[in-house]
Amino acid sequence: MSVAHNPFYHRGPIREASHFYDRQHETDQIANLVRASQSVSIVGPRRIGKTSLLYHLQHEEVRAAHGLLPPEHVFISIGTEGMGQASPPQVCALFLDGLREALRESSINVGWEEGAGPADYRLLDSAIKAVSRQGTKVAFFIDEFELLAANQNLDPTFFSGLRGLATRCAVSYILVSQRPLISLVYADDSVLSSPFFNIFATVPLGLFDEPTARGMVLAFLDRAEATLPQPALSAIADLAGPHPFFVQVAAYHAWDLARSTEEWDERATTLLSDLFYEEAQQHYLYCWYNLNEAERYALASLAVAPHDPGARQALHQLQQQCLIIPSDSGYCYVSSALRRFVRSQRVTNLLQAEPFVIDLRRRMATVADEPLKLTKTQFKVLAHLAQRPGQVVTNRELEESVWQDEYVEDPERLKAAIKYLRRALGLWARCIVNERGVGYALRVKRQ
């Protein structure tokens, strides 16, 4: 490699226009809506790039490309940190202060100075009207809108006032949230009655497609006049999938590893997997704890969930959260690292003994995400072994568990069940290991 600087360094929102990649469709869509004073709701899961897109839209070169420069257009960024318990006057002051700063070099006087006294909706309305009379369109960019939406001090009257600004003046709001506005959990459900929430066009932000994800890695490498070996590129794609943030994380570690090793081998791939997983695990935990029981169950039993009509809503939500993507057989995990995480979680009515997943509720089993065709007896044997993977289960315990009758000294009955179970497992038959004279164990052997 010709340079020492790692081009994959972003962990927080991307502020530099030169490091923002793709999202051209969403950029054009939002810019066109804002030019028409249409309010926009940008919706997507955590770490998908919503805040980065918000910054990108406000860069001068981006605004210039879409005809959104002053004095015809003014963009105002509203920070919601600490606004979870703010009063309506405090929020109005936040809007007024942002407006004053944006117009500092113009001749427009908003009629309010920070510290001059309490702000209220009347002052905000007056300031917006003064700006509008000059032919200037105002766009308020509000990140993490959930904080305002959950504020118990902001009632329907407050939000209706914001809509009034959009109706009477050339004002638009560009909001960012993890969930659609209508599904946010408001402290006061009556807030939903405000017409404010009916004026938004929704722009969902999701995963890249695979060519775009790969293109981002290659583009940043090309900018740094560097390369990564093909096995490293393949490992990045496998670990991160088409998730833009995780592609950056995986590529960051791959870059460092490639610089410290003479040749990319299996050991380097394993080390990259462990480094990436250590960092990604916290994000996966956040996602996992924010899923409901049905969504966790569907995610862990993904190979069979598409065949369950009751799982459709859960699968839809998982796809919206960028955890799964459609495949020829239904759905698959967005990445191998996410699959690894899910397999380590405890889920009611599921036994996970990688690569086996035993669905006790549906009475179905999969191996390496492929459904198994098992008889009732074969299923019981496999399920009991999967409860203690790697450990020997005695013949007597298996007999009593499977047939649930008094112990019968008939080794042929259990031997026959094991024989046919191994036949059903195909290439994975060797995972059923016999400890002669003692019992059987489920021990995974990589194929």
User: For the segment 117-164, what is each residue's pLDDT rounded down to a tens digit?
Assistant: 668 899 999 999 989 988 999 999 999 998 888 888 988 889 999 999
* pLDDT at site 184: 65
Triad 154, 157, 161: Cα angle to 5°: 100
Strand partners, 140: 76, 173
> Could you tell me the pTM of the whole model?
0.89
137-142: strand order across its sheet? 73-78, 137-142, 171-177, 39-43, 200-204
* pLDDT at site 1: 44
- 80 with 148: CB under 8 angstroms? yes
- Cα distances from 427 to residues 356, 381, 446, 447, in angstroms, run 13, 18, 10, 8
Nearest of 415, 390, 395 to residue 407 by alpha carbon: 395
Nearest of 283, 288, 301, 286 to residue 241 by alpha carbon: 283
* pLDDT at site 331: 94
Residue tagged 């005695």 (tokens):
394
Tens digit of each residue's pLDDT (9 = 90 or more) over 17-56 = 888 999 999 999 999 999 999 999 999 999 999 999 999 9
* pLDDT at site 9: 74
- Those residues whose C-beta lies under 8 Å from the C-beta of residue 276, and which sit 6 or more positions away, are 239, 240, 246, 249, 250, 253, 337
* pLDDT at site 185: 45
**Which tokens hold the place of 402?**
């499977």
Q: How far apart are the first and last CA of the chain?
A: 35
Tell me which residues of the chain have a pLDDT lower than 70: 1-4, 10, 106-118, 184-194, 405-409, 445-447
Q: What is the dihedral of CA 340, 341, 344, 350, to 10 degrees?
A: -90
